[in-house]
Amino acid sequence: MAKMTLEDLRKLRDERKKDLGRRDVEGKSVQIIVGMGTCGIAAGAKKTFDAILAAVEEFHLDKDVVIRQTGCMGLCYVEPTVEVAMPGMPATIYGKVDAAVAREIVQKHVVEKSLVENHIFDRPAADIIKR
């Protein structure tokens, strides 16, 4: 990306805001977001990330799913944490997601559209940045 002017920055922000609003990135409608702060990684977030990749492949979801990383959500006691956002399902945060649970999330939540019991947590605070 080349250096931006004020105009460029504003344009980029508007475009990206629309992307966030649409909830689909690069034409993919399912977002799986893994918490990869030090706490998450220490608790095994990298293995979780790999397990999600493998499960996405296994269920042939490559075309629909984008996997992203983010920082610490604050739920350090249930790391690794994973958020799933997709049409038709409430945005959900899962905690204590090891490789097995990761696969279960892809299968149950993404494919079968039902929540995975016992691993759901609430986002700890409302978002002050309104889109």
Partner 1 sequence: MAYKNFILVCGGTGCESSKADEIYKNLLAEAEAQGVKGEVQVVKTGCFGFCEKGPIVKVLPSESFYVEVKPSDAKEIISEQIVKGREVKRLLYKKEQQKDIVKLEDIEFYQKQFRIVLRNCGVINPENIEEYIARDGYAALEKVLFEMKPDDVIAELKTAGLRGRGGAGFPTWMKWDLTRKAAGDIKYVICNADEGDPGAYMDRSTIEGDPHSVLEAMTIAGYTIGSDKGFVYIRAEYPLAIERLKIAIAQSKAMGLLGDDILGSGFNFDIEIRLGAGAFVCGEETALMQSLEGKRGMPVPKPPFPAISGLWKKPTLINNVETYANVPVILTKGGSWFAKIGTEKSPGTKVFALTGKINNSGLVEVPMGTTLREIVFDIGGGIKDGKKFKGVQTGGPSGGIITEKDLDSPITYESLTALGSMMGSGGMIVMDEDDCVVDVSRFYMEFCVDESCGKCAPCRIGTNQMHSILTKISKSQGEMSDLDKLERIGKAMTKASLCLLGGSAANPTLSTLKHFRDEYLEHIQDRKCRAGKCKDLVVYSIDPEKCIGCGLCARRCPVNCITGEKKQAHVIDTSKCIKCGECFKVCKFNAVLKK
Q: Which residues bind partner 1 (CB under 8 A)?
A: 1-6, 9-10, 12-13, 16-17, 19-20, 35, 37-39, 41, 68-78, 81, 83, 88, 90, 95, 113-122, 124-129, 131
Q: For residue 17, what are its two tokens? A: 């805001």
CA pair distance 131, 118, nearest whole angstrom: 30
20 or 100: whose CB is closer to partner 1?
20
Q: What is the three-class DSSP state of 6?
A: helix
Residue among 5 and 27 whose Cβ is closer to partner 1: 5
How many angstroms separate the CA atoms of 23 and 26, rounded?
Answer: 10
Report, in Å, the least distance between residue 4 CB and partner 1: 5
> Among residues 60 and 124, whose Cβ is nearest to partner 1?
124
Residue from 6, 83, 71, 9 nearest 41 by CA: 71
User: Helix or strand or coil: residue 13?
Assistant: helix
Question: Nearer to partner 1 by C-beta: 65 or 83?
Answer: 83
In whole angstroms, how close is the CB of 2 to partner 1 at the nearest point? Answer: 8
